[in-house]
Amino acid sequence: MNAQSDTAWTAQGDFTDISYRTTSDGIALITIERPEKRNAFRPLTSAELAHAFARARHDRNVRVVLLTGRGDAAFCAGADLSVRAGDRAGTDWPEHLSPASVSDVQLAIRRIEKPVIALVSGFAIGGGQVLHQVCDLSIAAEHAQFGQVGPRVGSFDGGYGINLLAKQIGHKRAKEIWFLCRRYTARNALEWGLVNAVVPAEELLDTGVAWARELLQMSPAALRLLKSSVNAEEDGLAGVAQLADDSCQLYYGTSEAAEGAAAFLERRAPDFTGVHAFD
């Protein structure tokens, strides 16, 4: 999907397989830039995506992230099977970039404390479908196609791939998608609850920006804790740990926490009398 919107984007970072752009009002746009491969990811792509999401996570000016693929043919067609996992041959690997797998990218999307919206144009197949599944919201172009290829090519995703899908659309539908490796239209995806909306391809980016700007009007802390609360149920103890960490960040701003820290630094017993939780 090309950035046809009138929104002013500022390119940031030095990437090969992706681009990272931001707006002045707090939106980040991460685009997989491999249209010749239907935006399939190789090890470098995964590493750059993980780096970009980490950058967005720690940038206080960014409050919403959009994820998409270059061109109208594909959001992401999954793994580039012509490149073996972990193979850096023929790649000018940046020294500052740590290796990462697509699982690291999935976790980065889940862990970022900001809403992530997938803008799906064309194919979201295999690992590409899982990428949009782990995003918080998904908007699809009318010509988008979804599906899995795992059992057909000797692969599978037993983590978020099938389990999160089962939570989103039910176990029978999830098994149908994974077992039969068929293709499904954007309308199928909308009816099943796999995406939030379907729009004409030429309106996809503008719609994503409009949704992002609605989110910019919301309480960042409330959105953060809502996301963490859902993840706590879906991600087991790791999700609970994330929710607990978010709760700690709020707690550290209270008078109770300030008294505890001050008492430690002043080498005295804390005085919690008259202190009410979350004052």
Q: Which fold has domain 221-265?
A: Lyase 2-enoyl-coa Hydratase; Chain  A, domain 2 (1.10.12)
Domain positions in the chain: 10-218, 221-265
- 124 annotated ligand binder: yes
Instruction: Report the alpha-carbon distance of residue 34 to residue 37 in Å, rounded.
Output: 5
Whole-number percent of the chain with pLDDT over 90: 72
pLDDT for residue 279 is more than 80: no
Predicted pLDDT of residue 26: 97
- 53 annotated ligand binder: no
pLDDT for residue 85 is more than 70: no
Predicted pLDDT of residue 5: 61
pTM flag (> 0.85): yes
22-71 tens-digit pLDDT: 999 999 999 999 999 999 999 999 999 999 999 999 999 999 999 999 99
Second-level CATH architecture of 10-218: Alpha-Beta Complex (3.90)
- 252 annotated ligand binder: yes
Instruction: Report the alpha-carbon distance of residue 33 to residue 18 in Å, rounded.
Output: 5
CB 231 within 8 A of CB 242: yes
Q: Whole-number mean pLDDT of the chain?
A: 91
- 78 annotated ligand binder: no
- 126 annotated ligand binder: yes
- 127 annotated ligand binder: yes
* Sign of torsion over alpha carbons 64, 67, 71, 74: negative
186-208 tens-digit pLDDT: 999 999 999 999 999 999 999 99
